Amino acid sequence: MYTMKQTCKKVGMTYEALKFYCNEGLVPNVRRDLNNRRVFDENDVLWITSLTCLKNLGMSIKDMKAYIDLCMQGQSTIPERKTILNELKESLQKKWTTCGKASTTLIISSSFMMMCFPEKQNTIVT
C-alpha cells in the first residue's frame, strides 16, 4: 500500500491534484488506513496513471467522470468507452494538424521578417 505522497511520486502528480481527484470521485473505492488517511495499491496507481493520461490528452474533469462511470458499469460499456476514446483521438489529430500548420506559418513569417529586416535578426523568433 502507498500513502498519498508515495502515490503522487509514482504517478507524477501533485498532492493537491490527487486529493482533488479523490474528492471528485475520480478514484473509486479509495481505502483508508487506521488513521483515516488515504492509501493506494498497485491497481489504484494504474488507475490514477490512466486518469493522468486522459487529462494530459485534454479530457475535461466532467468527461473523465462520465468515462469512469462507464468503466464502473463493466464490460457492457466497452463499445461506448471506445467511441469516447476514438473521438478524443480525432480531436487530438485535428489539433496536431492545426499546430503543424501554425508552426509552418510561423517559420515562413519569421524567415520573411528576417529577409525584410536583417538588422533586427536578433529580435525575431526563429
pLDDT at 113: 66
Per-residue model confidence as pLDDT tens digits over 53-104: 888 888 889 999 998 889 889 999 999 989 988 888 888 888 888 777 777 7
- The pLDDT > 90 percentage for the chain reads 45
Give me the residues paired with residue 39 across strands. 31
Domain ranges of the chain: 4-73
pLDDT at 126: 53
Give me the residues paired with residue 40 across strands. 2
CA distance 113 to 91: 33
> What CATH number was assigned to the domain covering residues 4-73?
1.10.1660.10
pTM above 0.75, yes or no: no
Q: What is the DSSP string of 12-27?
A: T--HHHHHHHHHTTSS
